[in-house]
Structure 1
Amino acid sequence: MSTGVSPQHRRSFVRWWTGRSPAAGSAVMATGILSVGLHLMGQENLSLAALALAAVMWSGLAADFTGRLLNDRARWIHEADTPPALTAVAATCVLGTRLALLGWTALATVLLVLAAVVCLVLLPAVLRDSVLRVRHHAMPGAVFLVCVATQGLAVLGATLAPLLHQTWLARAALAAFCLGLVLYGLALGRFDLRNVRRGAGDQWVACGALAISALAGAKLLASAAFTGTFHDALRIAALTLLALAFAWYAVLAVAEVAWPRLRFDVRRWATVFPMGMTGVATLSLATAAGVAGLRTPGKVLVWCAVAVWCAVFAGAVRSAVRPV
């Protein structure tokens, strides 16, 4: 019985799928963080739907990542030392964080271990062969993924620490949090500010890296391992990071209006993720830092991210169908 899909169409789809860049991992990051945000707002059905979609996306990307490693080693090595490769780490951490919130602690722990191993392989290569080799102010927004990947480990580790009753994991998450802040400073020195005006979407990671740092701070605040003066310092640091993320968000939003870039680009998923992450960080700090007034703006930011996700998803579907 015919499936209605010709061999030529199948070959076209395969070429499209295998030709995607590592930046496609940001689609999992964007969808997963919206699942977290919708969960925090009590929109459980929508949250679970987003989680299911993120899990399917992650599985496809994981299979692609493994396939390239085994069957196209030259391409895997070529891509492994570029910042977009770190979306594999960040996407795994975001998915693991949502699963931990769902109570699937064992699976979330497996994803944390997997993300940590991949990060130990990819991060040194990215820093050595891409970030440190490039002159100052010359890289796109993807350079901030060195911070996002590290803070992703901090978020997932700090989320699991109280669930597993492991104080050492909270301290490891704190170390990742501090390292992420150092890497943000390094990335900022390499970022080409002209991308605020002409970037294809990943310029928003400058905001998202600060937002996920603020979320990591919120998760650390919830840990019983940090008390007293240190807890107060963490609270100030997290709120400061959120304020800086808001500042970047405002600048980037104004730039989108002033210089519209409406054509679909896979890097637009790297716009959705920071928007959603800023909302999630805001909602999380409303509770962790005891600032109830942050809940309303947090909800607004998450819904804005949902709207942009729908637009980018529609563009992605058209992009996939066009070559077929």
Structure 2
Amino acid sequence: MSPASDESESPTRPAPQGEREPARLAGLSPAYFGMVMATGIVSLAAGLMGMPVVAKALFLINCAVYVALWALTLLRIVRYPRRVFDDLIDHLRGPGFFTVVAGTCVLGSQFVLLAGEYRVAMALWAVAVVLWIGLTYTIFTAFTIKENKPPLERGISGGWLLAVVATQSIAVLAALLAAHVGQPGRLELNFLALSMWLWGGMLYIWMMSLIFYRYTFFRFSPDDLSPPYWINMGAMAISTLAGSLLILNSEHAPFLLSLLPFIKGFTVFYWATGTWWIPMLLLLGVWRHGYRHFPLRYDPLYWGAVFPLGMYTASTHQMIEAMGFDFLRFLPHAFVYIALAAWALVFAGLSRYLLRHSKDFRF
């Protein structure tokens, strides 16, 4: 049974007539691991804010969701390999595969912080690294060499920034693991975390330039403002989290200590950029649903809007711990409830969708 949404087909590639009402597994959104990302980071945020029962409950839910989504994904690869390949090289759907990397790392972070299971977390981190390498060079090589490419206004969205989130999620989990291992391993993990943090920043600058250009110089319709545009903020929030963890690890890594002013400066830069996006995204959301009356219905992509809220909570809290910005403590205490409410709303939407379409599900 697949919880694929009705909107899961690529806007740039309509499904063949014979597959418009296919086994719903065939149309499973590549971005569905965004549910793991969202559930995991909201769980971690709740734990950081002193809600252990909520954190553990969401952790258990996330483990079940992660296993179920892998089962569906592997079954889809076996049953519909051509559909999976087409999604992989599609400019709009392809970046959704990076949710697998980020979701794996977020779950690994839960095993570190909520369960103290460092071996499980290390195994998940290794899986994420392999997936990141494979997906990064497959997707972006395909985008580069494919002959038929969509125009910029139809080929890029905030979903591209999932590549940044995936990169930074590896940095976050590496930094968390580095704090719990000795030598050999601690310096190497911190160095890799630093490298991934820098690579993620590089990718954000490249991609955000194109996305902002698309925002301001091409016609913008409510259809174009899909939920992954919240990743504009989420990518900066997870970059803030990775930078904060590097600062906290600097006592045990001399090369981090020498780079401390640079890391602190860019961490604040990332946090300030993410904070700037919040009012902008809220205004665009009001324009989309209030002024233009775009229908608000369940879509798996909405998990990509929940994740940034939880990540902003966790990253702001960790930045406060790393840099002593006590005057900002009101922010994570407020945002944790916003993140929990958003998660509950999207989960309710998923549950309602499953109940309404349970008779239609096919493998």
Runs of 5+ in structure 2 lacking a partner? Answer: 1-21, 359-363
- Count of residues paired in the alignment: 311
Following superposition, the deviation at residue 120 of structure 1 comes to 0.9
Following superposition, the deviation at residue 73 of structure 1 comes to 2.5
Map residues 206-285 of structure 1 onto 2, 5 A cutoff.
206-223=232-249, 224-225=252-253, 226-260=255-289, 261=294, 262-285=296-319
Partner residue of 2:102 out of 85, 90, 93: 90
Letter of the structure 2 residue corresponding to residue 87 of structure 1: T
Following superposition, the deviation at residue 47 of structure 1 comes to 0.2
Deviations 1:251-283 (A, max 9, x none): 101222232252222111110001111111101
Give the conservation status (yes or no) of the 8 Å contact 1:83–1:130: no
Partner residue of 2:134 out of 121, 135, 143: 121
Partner residue of 1:161 out of 162, 178, 186: 178
CA RMSD of aligned residues (A): 2.0
Give me the identity figure in percent. 30
Question: Take 1:228 and 1:157, find their aligned partners in 2: how far apart are those partners?
Answer: 17
**CA, structure 1 residues 284+76, in 2 after alignment: closer, same or farther (shift >3 Å)?**
same
Map residues 171-210 of structure 1 onto 2, 5 A cutoff.
171-191=191-211, 192-193=214-215, 194=220, 198-210=224-236
Runs of 5+ in structure 1 lacking a partner? Answer: 1-13
* 2:123 paired with 1:110: yes
Following superposition, the deviation at residue 219 of structure 1 comes to 1.1
Deviations 1:273-305 (A, max 9, x none): 011111111011110111112222012112111
**CA, structure 1 residues 135+128, in 2 after alignment: closer, same or farther (shift >3 Å)?**
farther
What is the DSSP-based 3-state SS (H/G/I as helix, E as strand, rest coil) of the residue aligned with 1:164?
A: coil
Partner residue of 2:41 out of 28, 33, 41: 33
* 2:165 paired with 1:148: yes
Question: Take 1:220 and 1:147, find their aligned partners in 2: how far apart are those partners?
Answer: 17
Following superposition, the deviation at residue 227 of structure 1 comes to 4.7
Following superposition, the deviation at residue 131 of structure 1 comes to 7.3
Per mean C-alpha deviation after superposition, the further-off stretch among 124-133 and 58-67 is 124-133
Question: Take 1:60 and 1:40, find their aligned partners in 2: how far apart are those partners?
Answer: 27
Give the conservation status (yes or no) of the 8 Å contact 1:197–1:255: no
Following superposition, the deviation at residue 69 of structure 1 comes to 3.3
**CA, structure 1 residues 169+302, in 2 after alignment: closer, same or farther (shift >3 Å)?**
same
Question: Take 1:289 and 1:141, find their aligned partners in 2: how far apart are those partners?
Answer: 30
* 2:325 paired with 1:296: no
Give the conservation status (yes or no) of the 8 Å contact 1:55–1:95: yes
Following superposition, the deviation at residue 162 of structure 1 comes to 1.6
Per mean C-alpha deviation after superposition, the further-off stretch among 229-238 and 22-31 is 229-238
Question: Take 1:239 and 1:61, find their aligned partners in 2: how far apart are those partners?
Answer: 35
Give the conservation status (yes or no) of the 8 Å contact 2:26–2:80: no
Following superposition, the deviation at residue 80 of structure 1 comes to 3.0
* 2:66 paired with 1:58: yes
Give the conservation status (yes or no) of the 8 Å contact 1:131–1:190: no
Letter of the structure 1 residue corresponding to residue 83 of structure 2: R
